[in-house]
Amino acid sequence: MSNACGIWAFALATVCWLAAGVLGCSKIETSTGGAGGNRSTIPGVLRVGSYEDLDNLNPLLSNQSFVTDVEQMVFSGLIDYDDHGDAIPDVALEIPTLENGGIAADGKTITYHLRHGVRFSDGVALTSADVKYTWQQIMNPKNNVPYRYPYGIVASIDTPDAYTVVVHLKQPFAAFVAYFMRNGNVGSILPEHLLKGYSEINRIAFNTHPIGSGPFKVVSWQPGALLTLAANPSYWRGRPKLNEIRFQIIANQNTLLTSVLGHDVDVYYDAPEAQYATLSAIRGYRVTRVPNMTFEHIDFNCARYPLDDVRVRQAIAYAIDWKKLADHVYLGLDPPGMADIPPMSWAYDPSVLPYPHDVTRARNLLRSAGWLTGADGVVRKNGEPMRLDIATVTGVTSRAKAEQLIQQDLRAIGIGLDVHNYPASLLFATYGSNGILARGKFYLSLYAWQYTVPDPDNTQTIGPNELPPAGTNYTFWVDQELGSWQRAAQAHYGRSERRPYYVNIQRRIHDAVPMHTIVWRASIDIVSTDLKNFKPAPAVSDFWNSYEWEI
């Protein structure tokens, strides 16, 4: 086997690595009540409860994981990911590999063969032209795309016929097949025939009433209230078993819990750990808890004074009692963490541990940075007190509790912390839409990142060239050496070659502390016992097989 063959054989292994890692973790399911026949069930109609509003229905213009869930139902990609975290073909007939001829020996030409018979919900066939058009719109600088990774590595795309896509890369790229046109945010395939007349797609009617090729089509959307989907009879896998999905926005987790208690929703997904015991006791539902590649974490805005001083960031990291957060907020249900590579990954470094709670060390670091404690206990520099703020999604009960504990911890070392929370549609909005994170309008932020594909590359979220508006590095931390490690890890494709770079990256994140993970969250979903074929996933989306759901 040539070196190129060994390199690109790993490209497929990269997208499937969870089979060895995640499957070693257990899936926990608790059933309450009978095996069906809930009086509140509406046959053929699924009621989903979401505590996050949606900022957009155009998959190219959103960075919300909850929008990715919706796109799973409305759109298609070349590939998707199943409940084992394995890549599976969607519009593509198969995943390109060296063995099947989809990947050239030099690793720079990748060929996709598309299914015949895939149609958008308006009846028009999906072809190679739509794939190329979607890539062009991702790269269109006029569009408010949250990131363009890894699409910028593409030199050109050829479409020799309606069902062949030939992608030419500027250089070999280890995780490209894992990312390219993966169904979801910045990956779902758009209909060229409806959009080709627009110079940009930021503010068009399509964004609120899109046409996709997925198992469901949009009937109506009332932002902040209700998204109604209907079965797409022309879906390529066949008509879905559900007739309708009502995606209800209930922007407070306590209110959403009340809706479950009243049997007004059939699915409540991504529930907080604090509600786990209560949810497990509700008759007529079952609760699943699947180990997930989602890290609940704090971002430090490293471009904003005084957090541009690493000593201040380290002082805050020592001041926060991370174990108390994990135990009291997340109830010990999730493994703690520090950096951004999950314990289930082959690239994980177990020596990178959370900062210990050490108030004395925190105060000494502040003092070394020129922040002196006054008689009132407040730290000041040049007479000015340190006062920061923290932002998260409104209505998320666990994070509200975490903010209170963090306030107390920082007050103990003389730092004031204000809470400024926002709707998800504003917090995660793109740079062009004046998103809080993308515009850097915060000091500390508390939220979860979910891996868009199961690969350890973290370029798009912490790479030095991925600051908004170019990407989603919301830490605004620029470390060129870390960037060189990321590039080297992508150029050397074997796991044994890649892993040392990721070890270096995790250790640098620990030392520079641009972010700090609290826990790696399990995906907690509560679903009606009448719902069949719900298969939560360890990465990407629990909605990957909505075409199979039945109630």
Does a structural domain hold residue 327?
yes
Cα–Cα distances in angstroms (integers) from residue 85 to residues 17, 267, 340, in the given order: 8, 21, 18
Rounded average pLDDT over 531-547: 94
Count how many domains the chain has.
Answer: 1
Tokens of 43: 């046959």
Across the chain, what does the average pLDDT equal?
92
Rounded average pLDDT over 305-320: 98
Cα–Cα distances in angstroms (integers) from residue 72 to residues 205, 334, 387, 402, 455, in the given order: 20, 26, 42, 31, 20
CA distance 384 to 380: 5
Does a structural domain hold residue 259?
no
Q: What are phi and psi of 498, to 5 degrees?
A: -80, -35
Rounded average pLDDT over 22-43: 61
Q: pLDDT-derived band of residue 34, with 50, 70 and 90 as boundaries?
A: very low
Q: pLDDT-derived band of residue 36, with 50, 70 and 90 as boundaries?
A: low
Asked if pLDDT for residue 8 goes beyond 80, the answer is no
DSSP reduced 3-state for 379: strand
Asked if pLDDT for residue 28 goes beyond 60, the answer is no
Residues 6+ apart with CB under 8 A from 444: 298, 299, 300, 301, 316, 388, 389, 390, 391, 406, 417
Asked if pLDDT for residue 23 goes beyond 60, the answer is no
Range of the domain at 358: 292-522
CA distance 246 to 50: 10
Which residues on neighbouring strands pair with residue 288, listed in sequence order?
29, 525
Q: Which helix (H) or strand (E) holds 526?
A: strand 515-528
DSSP reduced 3-state for 451: coil
Cα–Cα distances in angstroms (integers) from residue 387 to residues 55, 117, 371, 419, in the given order: 30, 59, 12, 11
Q: pLDDT-derived band of residue 89, with 50, 70 and 90 as boundaries?
A: very high
Does a structural domain hold residue 346?
yes
Q: pLDDT-derived band of residue 15, with 50, 70 and 90 as boundaries?
A: very low
Does a structural domain hold residue 518?
yes
Single out the residue of 364, 394, 78, 104 nearest to residue 249, CA to CA. Answer: 394
Does a structural domain hold residue 247?
no
Residues 6+ apart with CB under 8 A from 203: none
Rounded average pLDDT over 384-391: 98
Provide the pLDDT for residue 491: 83
Q: What does the chain come to in residues?
A: 551
Single out the residue of 516, 543, 447, 442 nearest to residue 64, CA to CA. Answer: 447
DSSP reduced 3-state for 300: strand
Tokens of 217: 């089509």
Tokens of 429: 């909005």
359-368 vs 310-319: helix crossing angle, rounded to 10? 160
Single out the residue of 49, 50, 47, 29 nearest to residue 38, CA to CA. Answer: 47
Does a structural domain hold residue 208?
no
Q: Which helix (H) or strand (E) holds 450?
A: strand 444-450
Single out the residue of 344, 323, 333, 243 nearest to residue 279, CA to CA. Answer: 333
Does a structural domain hold residue 311?
yes
Asked if pLDDT for residue 74 goes beyond 50, the answer is yes
Rounded average pLDDT over 239-259: 95
- 237 against 37, higher pLDDT: 237
Return the number of other C-beta atoms located less than 10 Å from residue 116's C-beta.
12
Q: pLDDT-derived band of residue 6, with 50, 70 and 90 as boundaries?
A: very low
Provide the pLDDT for residue 452: 77
Tokens of 98: 């060296």
Residues 6+ apart with CB under 8 A from 164: 111, 112, 113, 114, 128
Which residues on neighbouring strands pair with residue 269, listed in sequence order?
525
Domain CATH code at residue 403: 3.10.105.10
Give me Rg for the CA atoms of the chain: 23
Asked if pLDDT for residue 9 goes beyond 70, the answer is no
CA distance 348 to 500: 10
**Model confidence pLDDT, tens digit, residues 180-234:** 999 999 999 999 999 999 999 999 999 999 999 999 999 999 999 999 999 999 9
Q: pLDDT-derived band of residue 92, with 50, 70 and 90 as boundaries?
A: very high
Provide the pLDDT for residue 30: 57
Rounded average pLDDT over 154-168: 98
Return the number of other C-beta atoms located less than 10 Å from residue 258's C-beta.
12
- 467 against 107, higher pLDDT: 467
Does a structural domain hold residue 414?
yes
Provide the pLDDT for residue 291: 83
- pLDDT over 70 for what percent of the chain? 93
Q: Structure pTM?
A: 0.78
Q: pLDDT-derived band of residue 27, with 50, 70 and 90 as boundaries?
A: low
**Model confidence pLDDT, tens digit, residues 426-462:** 999 999 999 999 999 999 999 999 887 888 999 989 9
CB 530 within 8 A of CB 276: no
Provide the pLDDT for residue 493: 63
CB 256 within 8 A of CB 268: yes
Q: 3-7, 53-57, 397-401, 403-407: which range is least confident on average?
A: 3-7
CA distance 156 to 168: 5
Asked if pLDDT for residue 21 goes beyond 60, the answer is no
Q: 6-20, 80-94, 411-425, 433-447: which range is least confident on average?
A: 6-20
Q: What are phi and psi of 274, to 5 degrees?
A: -65, -20
Output the DSSP codes for 265-286.
-SEEES--GGGHHHHHT-TTEE
